[in-house]
Amino acid sequence: MTAPLITPFVRRVGSRTVIVAGFIAATIGLGAFGFIGPSWKYAAMVGPLIAIAAGLGLANGPASSIATACVPEDQVGAASGISNMGRYVGAAVLTSVAAAVYNTVTTNHRSGGASASASLAYGFSRAAIALAVFCACGIALAALVGRHRTDKAGTIHYAAAAAATSHTVSTSPTNAGSSTPPQDARHATIAENLPIHPKTPPCPAP
């Protein structure tokens, strides 16, 4: 939902500001879940869930674009691949961490005589706090990002942002009717590379 809005937002205030804002929103949402209890209703979870989704949506695109903005043009594909790998590995590792924390806390409380609902709430709360700590680390890491703005966004950039999670295309045109792409063809997520113009200067120091 936030993807089409990110491109002009980044151009206006810079990647670092957007990434920090995203991680702050996600940290607040996860931190709110740290106070969850057996008496919470589903309606009370809507606000934190929206904050987490919007925050991660804001941070994800600019963070990925920075990975391709600060390398030579002939290394964009490799940088994009490393960025994607880091994102997927990080998601897998943190999912395991959250599951381990949740299971350990829930089991310990059940063994101590707590009710099933209380044990579930305690486990969920501690898992959320663990994830909030990692999001807070993201805020600190974002301080290392130099101010980076892309060129003026056009229709293709909005389309790329909206399709960021499902499409991959070549950043160089291929010959019509040929099954072999040119040697310099590099594939990367379109939301990561279309906003990056060959004239975009290297990222400045923080």
pLDDT grade for 194, boundaries at 50, 70 and 90: very low
Structure tokens at 103: 């299971």
> Taking Cα atoms as reference points, which of 149, 111, 165 lies closest to residue 17?
149
The highest-confidence range among 13-17, 60-64, 128-132, 164-168, by mean pLDDT, is 128-132
Domains of the chain by range and CATH? 3-193 (1.20.1250.20)
Q: What is the pLDDT of residue 145?
A: 65
- The mean pLDDT value of the chain amounts to 76
Percent of the chain with pLDDT over 90: 33
- Of the pLDDT bands very low, low, confident and very high (cuts 50, 70, 90), residue 152 is low
* 154 or 144: which leads in pLDDT: 144
41-50 tens-digit pLDDT: 999 999 999 9
Listed residue (68, 196, 206) closest to 142, CA to CA: 206
Q: Which two tokens stand for residue 84?
A: 């994607």
CB neighbour burial string for 57-66, b if at least 16 within 10 angstroms, e if fewer: bbbbbbbbbb
Contact 55, 156 (CB under 8 A): no
**Tokens coding 30:** 């996860």
The answer on pLDDT for 162 being more than 60 is: no
The reported pTM is 0.66
| Residues 31/161, Cβ–Cβ less than 8 Å | no
- Given pLDDT bands bounded at 50, 70 and 90, which one contains residue 68? confident
Amino acid identity for residue 147 in this structure: R
Q: In terms of C-beta distances under 8 Å and separation of at least 24 residues, what long-range contacts does 113-116 make, across chains too?
A: 115/38
- What's the pLDDT at 16? 84
Please say if the pLDDT value at position 161 is more than 60.
no
- More confident: 115 or 177: 115
> How does pLDDT run across 93-121, given as a tens digit for each residue?
999 999 999 999 999 999 999 899 999 99
